[in-house]
Structure 1
Amino acid sequence: MASPADPTAPLRIALVAGEASGDILGAGLMRALKARHPAVEFIGVGGPRMEAEGLRSYFPLERLAVMGLVEVLGRLPELLARRRRLARTLIAARPDVFIGIDAPDFNIGLEHRLRQAGISTVHYVSPSVWAWRQNRVLKIRQACDLMLALFPFEAQFYDRHGVNVRFVGHPLADDIPLEADRQAARERLDLPQDESIVALLPGSRGGEVARLGGLFLDAAERLRALRPGIRFVLPCASPERRVQLEQMVAGRDLPLTLLDGRSHEALAACDAVLIASGTATLEALLYKRPMVVAYSVAPMTYRILKRLVKSPWISLPNLLAERLLVPELLQDAATPEAMAQLLSPLLDGGEVQTEGFDLIHRALRRDASSQAAAAVLELAGRG
């Protein structure tokens, strides 16, 4: 008979990811789990990367991808019905462990139901409970056997609230080199070596681009008036975003290169970044590129968040640094003039930012997927 830690003993793991970033994290975790325990089966919900690693996905990941507080209301009946059906399916399948990857509003309720049914549960990527709706930590404590935290300040928060937590680091910090080769990236993108280049990253979702894309392009025009020799690069997250951005660019006199994806190459190639708040700010940090962060949401969503958010900052670089390391321009403050004025001096230096970024990168570089896999297998009794 196989022992509990026998890598040949069958193991069934369920995973649910709710958007593209979760698909990337889930695929890395699945690879690390297979390396440690080859006899593993994966079921649940994920995207193309997780499916390529062997996940049997019950429905497309895109059905869970919703942005904003107000925006989710129209999809709520469908999301609740999907969660009920998925809970029944997974309880019948009896996985050894369930792993909810991000998507907390969907996954934590699912984890609670599965844990009540006797299934061990893990949540990978902490929701922002340290910033707002802190009472959610009580529900998390009831729903999760283990929280896998990407950032040290999250682990400290959960420790204080009695939640079993493991700080695993961030996979991007493992993947992105400590020193990115700007010259090589410019060669790959056919960009000039001797000109200042600013990357524009207005977000990956249609709503984000609708609110920020025009503002970012206006800021680029103003920055060009301050620095006539400057160039811009703008990675498009999908074919749909490219069409959307091409319409915004039409009629503008900007030396701008649109890219199909390739956001990491754009960050490696540029001198500074104008960027929407979100995971991309961590990527810019890891590439050590000075940045200005801007964000805008639906007015009602902003009014709600303004009352609820406890943290003095919204961007990951500032949260990780525990100080105002990068400028943040939110809602009405996110004007093209303000963006251009804050970006311009970063092209001459930005060392205060980049030195802080290097310290953070080294702290997050912990072989995260392997750390997470070890914690999951330990919970399953296979460690």
Structure 2
Amino acid sequence: MKYYLIAGEASGDLHGSNLMKALKLKDPKAEFRYFGGDLMMAVSPGLAMHYSEMAFMGFVEVIANLNSIFKNIKTAKQDILAFQPDVVILIDFPGFNMKIADFAKEKGFKVFYYISPKVWAWNQKRVLKIKKFVDRMFCILPFEVEFYKKWGMDVDYVGNPILDAIVSNPPDELFKITHNLDVRPIIALLPGSRKQELEKVLPEMVRTADRFPEYQFVIAGAPSFSEDDYSAYLEGRKIAVIFNATYNLLLNSKAAIVTSGTATLETALLKIPQVVVYKGNPVSIAIARMLVKIKYISLVNLVMDQTIVKELIQEDCTSRIIADELDLILNDPLYRTEMLINYDELAIRMGEPGASGRAAALMFAYLNT
């Protein structure tokens, strides 16, 4: 069968690539066309657009880039019509993908949604549009099943694909040697995969290094950026940037400073103590605070429904406050141990690996009934 996938950011590229691998096992003659990234390209040819041209986050940023967004939506619609897929599989990225869901359903294509939009966070009435445009929803967070049930929608919980990615990651026992790092313990910096995250968050992250000369700080590079993109924010500091090795960087780290997003959950499931940070356009943050109806921004705290990791947002996202929290993680054994114990409970709630395979099996079954 012919599958059209749309992933608009780095995490979607990861989960899309694993789903494609699982679909190929079910359907060896599968044809793929997609909006995605390097990981999906490694599974199959068929790239229509790279996510680096699409990822805009924040109300102000989206408004400033509306022309590009509308152009990308038009490109996706034309490409779907040209490809004539058996199914359109949308991966998170709701602002873009809900418009594609409407279009694809209208044109008679089956629509699957893999990784639910965060409709539980704000404007919950968007579920009504999902019920109208989406044939099947495949969720990866355990609390989403009950949420959708309240709206009269039956969804499939397949587990979380992050677990698949972690299990399939070969550990590098010689990581420091492989990447020419020194003997000091590592603090991992995960600034995110969007340009505005580098601009707003990375400078605060790197200034934190001044308080911890006994540690080496290492940046997990996103594939959509180059080393030069990062060096512009280092202010003369010697901080290594390592690409395509985020899990091994975390596994070899004493702690991590992580921009809010999927990476917070990955870091927790890899059992690395972390502080979660986020800083955006002040207007975007002010609007978000009025609209968003959830207590937390990190997936770790959302799944556990309590504060497991510290969240430093906007005015709290300063190098001084980050350093204070990092000092607790590194030097207060009780604080560190409590976080790790909570990580163990989180892992139990998230379930077993195999999400990509379960999602692919269900999708294949639905398409053949």
> Common fold, TM-score beyond 0.5?
yes
Alignment-derived partner of residue 319 in structure 1: 302
How many residues get paired?
365
Q: Is the 8 A contact 1:186 1:192 kept in 2?
A: yes
Task: Note the aligned Cα RMSD (angstroms).
Answer: 2.5
State the 1:144 CA deviation.
Answer: 0.7
State the 1:29 CA deviation.
Answer: 1.0
Give secondary structure in 1 for the equivalent of 2:156: strand
Pairing of 1:175-186 with structure 2 (within 5 A):
175-177=165-167, 184-186=174-176
Greater shift, 290-299 or 99-108, is seen at 99-108
Greater shift, 35-44 or 241-250, is seen at 241-250
Q: Is the 8 A contact 2:199 2:233 kept in 1?
A: no
Residue 279 in 1 paired to residue 262 in 2?
A: yes
The counterpart of 2:141, out of the listed 151, 155, 158, is 151
Alignment-derived partner of residue 248 in structure 1: 233
Give secondary structure in 2 for the equivalent of 1:156: helix
Between the aligned partners of 1:339 and 1:48, the Cα distance in structure 2 is 32
Residue 77 in 1 paired to residue 67 in 2?
A: yes
Give secondary structure in 1 for the equivalent of 2:232: helix
State the 1:122 CA deviation.
Answer: 0.7
Alignment-derived partner of residue 290 in structure 2: 307
Alignment-derived partner of residue 361 in structure 1: 347
Residue 381 in 1 paired to residue 364 in 2?
A: no
Over 3 Å counting, the alpha-carbon distance change for 1:291 and 1:116 in structure 2 is same
Alignment-derived partner of residue 208 in structure 2: 219
The counterpart of 1:204, out of the listed 183, 188, 193, is 193
State the 1:211 CA deviation.
Answer: 0.9
Using the size of structure 2 for normalisation, the TM-score is 0.90
Between the aligned partners of 2:170 and 2:73, the Cα distance in structure 1 is 42
State the 1:83 CA deviation.
Answer: 2.5
Q: Deviations over 1:217-264 (max 9, x none)?
A: 222213x2xxx5233222222484522332333444x6x433234222
Alignment-derived partner of residue 331 in structure 1: 314
Gaps of 5+ in 1: 1-10
Q: Is the 8 A contact 1:204 1:241 kept in 2?
A: no
Between the aligned partners of 2:40 and 2:224, the Cα distance in structure 1 is 21
The counterpart of 1:230, out of the listed 202, 215, 237, is 215
Alignment-derived partner of residue 330 in structure 2: 347
Alignment-derived partner of residue 116 in structure 1: 106
Greater shift, 152-161 or 51-60, is seen at 51-60
Between the aligned partners of 1:290 and 1:80, the Cα distance in structure 2 is 40
Q: Is the 8 A contact 1:23 1:48 kept in 2?
A: yes
Amino acid at match of 1:366: P
Give secondary structure in 2 for the equivalent of 1:366: coil
Q: Deviations over 1:320-359 (max 9, x none)?
A: 1111000011100112221111111211331211122233
Between the aligned partners of 2:146 and 2:353, the Cα distance in structure 1 is 17
Alignment-derived partner of residue 253 in structure 2: 270
Between the aligned partners of 2:142 and 2:26, the Cα distance in structure 1 is 25
Identical positions, percent: 34
Residue 260 in 1 paired to residue 243 in 2?
A: yes
Q: Is the 8 A contact 2:16 2:91 kept in 1?
A: yes
Amino acid at match of 1:27: S
Q: Deviations over 1:344-376 (max 9, x none)?
A: 121133121112223323434330110110121
Between the aligned partners of 1:111 and 1:269, the Cα distance in structure 2 is 41
Q: Is the 8 A contact 2:278 2:314 kept in 1?
A: yes
Q: Is the 8 A contact 1:180 1:287 kept in 2?
A: no
Q: Deviations over 1:270-317 (max 9, x none)?
A: 111111111211221121011111110001100110001111000111
